[in-house]
A = this chain, B = another copy of it.
Amino acid sequence: MIDTKSAVIDRESSLGKARDAIRHAELHALVAASPANFYYLTGTSFLSQRTIPERLGMVSVTASGEPTLIYCTIEEGHARQESWIKGLRGYTEFVDTPVDVLSEVLREQGFERGRIGIEMRFISARDFERLRQALPEAEFVAADGLFDRMRAIKTQGEIELLGAAALATDESIRAAFEEAAVGMTERAIGDLMQAECRARGGEQLIHLVLATGENGFKVHALPTDTKLERGGVLRTDFGMSWGGRYFSDIARTAFVGPLQPWQEETYRKLERGHQAVIAAMRSGVKASDLYRLCAAEFEKASLDFKMPHIGHSIGVVMHENPMLQPFDDTPLEAGMVFMLEPGVTGRDGFYHTEDMILITEDGHRVLSRSADWSEPMVLS
């Protein structure tokens, strides 16, 4: 059971990064509203931010002084007990509009003509219009990229939690695959994977793709009552939440047996391409370069290269930036954590593998292989 309860980020480091961003972008205030960035700056998030998106939680950070956390009064106790932010401003649901409270806060801070960083990718068009009307002389700046950069370099605590979660997820898949046999349904195998993951500290199921037979051609196939058949392929892409806010995400492909020659060939080619990209992952290399390298490796191996991206960063959101896609020229840095996940459609379905790679001072470390997946796994 991995430790998912200890805090992995701290006030000093999170607010320090936020204030660096404020200086760098010459902002007066930086406002987080998405559950991910709210958590990153406050050390907590509300259950209802996920289930009731209109019940916004926000935090406004300025260059100095205590930040202000804006919360629905239903979450009063949670806000007081769980956050490291001491400037608290509650609003009453349906009586107050959350963004109106934000504009009051910004006005009180003297920023009615200020330069305010907000999450343009998250805040709704309706809320943004209202905010602009309330503060017509303020300048609103998209701060999404600033938050992405803050979160891209993981803390030591985040690296440990994400790595342990990835490894536990890999172990869970392996353990379930070891019990899988001809006649078992996709659903039963998926249930086993979840139970194994829960026993290791996994919490909510986030995604579970699992397919065999004809279903294997659907990239995002959900488990059905289809049964494993001799000679078939079994593929999964599976993730749960850990510590309430972090994610795991591992893809694996195995074979029911007897292993067919074309299966072995496709599997080995995919694994070779995967390892070639891993070998190139180090500080300074651009995300987009890795994408092109993968495309070249696939071409060499005569594999059909169709992926719009070959991987992503991971943390408090499943797909974080930088992304391993052709237009992301971010150079890799030590402390970044990537999920590398090449895939290819073979003769009998989609083949997929996915690993967590930590960028280190002197190269990289693969954090997610609990067993040797370089050889095709054949179910007994």
Contacts and interface: CB of A to CB of B under 8 A. Distances in A.
Interface in A150-198: none
Given A52-B318, A123-B125, A205-B204, A47 B327 contact: no
Contact of A326 (B54, B94, B127): B94
Interface residues of A, number: 51
A75 B125 contact: no
B94 A219 contact: no
Contact of A218 (B77, B308, B323): B77
B220 A46 contact: yes
A86 interface: no
B52 A93 contact: no
A124 B122 contact: yes
A280 interface: no
A194 to B, nearest CB: 9
A272 interface: no
Contact of A78 (B122, B128, B220): B220
A284 B268 CA distance: 66
Contacts of A118: 125
A48 interface: yes
A149 interface: no
A300 interface: no
Contacts of A366: none
A318 B125 contact: no
Contact of A325 (B75, B93, B318): B93
A309 interface: yes
Nearest to A204: B205
Interface string A104-126: 00000000000000101111111
Interface string A83-100: 000000000111100000
Given A94-B327, A222-B47, A123 B124 contact: yes
A7 interface: no
Contacts of A133: none
A285 interface: no
Nearest to A74: B219
A236 to B, nearest CB: 13
A57 to B, nearest CB: 12
B207 A47 contact: yes
Contacts of A301: none
Among all A-B residue pairs, the 6 with the closest Cβ atoms: A125-B128, A93-B308, A120-B126, A77-B218, A94-B325, A120-B125
